[in-house]
Amino acid sequence: MTPRSKTLKEVYLSVYNATTALAWSVILYATLNDLQLYLDPDTPDQYQSNIYVSHQFSSYPHKLLVDIQLVNACFEIIHAISGVVPSPVGTVLLQFAARLLLTHGISYTLPNSPGNFNFAAYITMSIAWCFSEIIRYGFYLIKLVYPDNIPYALIWIRYSAFFLLYPAGLLSESTIVYQSLQVLPKWSPYYCFLVFGLFLYVPGFVTLYAYMIKQRGKVLTRQLKFRKLA
């Protein structure tokens, strides 16, 4: 497979996609290291409930994840608004609103929230996010370099992984938000904001899930027809 010459925009997107996939790969590696330490019987008991090598606590917990997610969200929103990518602006905003609620709305704003230190929930959320983004940006990179030679297996994974990753994200994210209510005065403005966010999780999840199912049907059907004709 010989890659064709690319436009300046395609070169930029190739570098962006490769860099973003690499950033999420770093988080995944560190997160799996967290999990290994947590499961290791030789790890001291006092660290078992608070092992976050991948999300070092400095001024706030999970700093690496928080910072990368913010930069990622900013680029994606700018790309959608400017038309650099064809993604619907509303869908992009909905996707990253939920993530920024977790990273900046809780990790940054409520650093002492027990939700930040629910190991099972945060590990599950981190792994779901990482796999989702590595698959997505890796797929976009290959699509830019080899637009006419993408293996069907890769296309299938790109448009099928969400069946597991989205529900895992929904359950872990909502758990973290719910536990964060404990550190806020009941019915304070921010408490109400988080409660409102929790209620939006279900319709937001249904919207994104339905969008991905629709996209999956269109893409896989088109690919099967193209391959039959070929």
Is the CB of residue 116 less than 8 Å from the CB of residue 106? Answer: yes
Looking at residue 58, its pLDDT comes to 62
* Residue 43 token pair: 């790890």
pLDDT in tens, 137-170: 999 999 998 887 888 899 999 999 999 999 999 9
Q: Following DSSP, what letter does each residue of 137-184 receive, concatenated? A: HHHHHHHHHSTT---HHHHHHHTTTHHHHHHHHHHHHHHHHHHHGGGS
Looking at residue 16, its pLDDT comes to 97
Higher-scoring residue by pLDDT: 6, 66: 66
> Stretch 110-138: mean pLDDT, rounded?
92
Looking at residue 88, its pLDDT comes to 85
pLDDT in tens, 175-199: 999 999 999 999 999 999 999 989 9
Looking at residue 201, its pLDDT comes to 87
pLDDT reading at 219 higher than 70: yes
Looking at residue 135, its pLDDT comes to 96
Looking at residue 56, its pLDDT comes to 56
Cα dihedral 179→184→57→48 (10° resolution): -40
pLDDT reading at 1 higher than 60: no
Q: Within 13 Å and on the Cβ side, how many CA atoms surround 6?
A: 17
Q: Tell me what percent of the residues of the chain surpass a pLDDT of 70.
A: 89
Quick one: which H or E segment has residue 198?
Answer: helix 189-229
Higher-scoring residue by pLDDT: 198, 1: 198
pLDDT reading at 124 higher than 90: yes
pTM of the model: 0.89
pLDDT reading at 2 higher than 60: no
The C-alpha angle 66, 67, 72, rounded to 5 degrees, equals 100
pLDDT reading at 4 higher than 90: no
Looking at residue 28, its pLDDT comes to 93
Domain boundary assignment for the chain: 8-229
Q: Which residues contact 47 (CB under 8 A, 6 or more apart)?
A: 37
pLDDT reading at 119 higher than 90: no
pLDDT in tens, 34-77: 888 778 777 766 555 555 655 555 677 888 889 999 999 999 99
Q: Following DSSP, what letter does each residue of 73-86 receive, concatenated? A: HHHHHHHHHHTSS-
Cα dihedral 21→24→25→29 (10° resolution): 180
Looking at residue 159, its pLDDT comes to 94
